[in-house]
Amino acid sequence: MPANSQACAFCEIVAGRGAAHVVDEDALSLALLDINPFAEGHCLVVSKRHVPWWHDLSDDEIVSVFLMAKRVARRLGTAFSPEFVCMYARGRRIPHTHIFLVPTRNGDVLDGFFNAMERVQESQALLAGLKTPDALKSAAAKIRPAKR
């Protein structure tokens, strides 16, 4: 697993050294086709800067990445007429922020994956302790901003 931008596939693409089907670009972000698509038109939006986790991007990078994701999702809607465009963010296998944009229809591969994951989320005994009223109250208290 590359730990820095020297060995990162997305940094190579951003630098113009890696092959990619780029579909949009601005000063801080790039959108390209995923080479292992879940569906026709499956795109990734990547930050140009090597940052593994999307929540560590700067505010300007966040604006760029998510506005680009919105623009590309709308074009995916026009081009492929999906039911909706699924979005999720990763940075683990390739430790460089990448937002997945997948044109999705009821019953397709990604829809089935998320339906299966949600069945696990709702039914597993392993997770039962996380959804008690006390556990939910405690988690919310940890997330809320500190009172001034």
Q: Which residue has the tokens 């140009």?
A: 48
State the CB neighbour count (10 A cutoff) for residue 30: 22
Contact region with Zn ion (CB under 5 A), list: 17-25, 66-74, 92-100, 123-131? 92-100
State the CB neighbour count (10 A cutoff) for residue 103: 24
96 near Zn ion, rule: CB under 5 A: yes
Q: Where in 118-147 is the site for Zn ion (CB under 5 A)?
A: none
Torsional sign, CA 52, 62, 106, 74: negative
Q: Which one of 12, 22, 34, 50 is in contact with Zn ion (CB under 5 A)?
A: 50
5 near Zn ion, rule: CB under 5 A: yes
54 near Zn ion, rule: CB under 5 A: no
- Rounded to a whole number of angstroms, the minimum distance from the CB of residue 42 to Zn ion is 20
Closest CA to 43 of 27, 20, 59: 20
CA–CA distance, 86 with 129 (Å, rounded to integer): 29
Contact region with Zn ion (CB under 5 A), list: 2-10, 27-35, 103-111, 132-140? 2-10
Which residues in this chain contact Zn ion in the complex, by CB under 5 A? 5, 8, 10-11, 50, 96
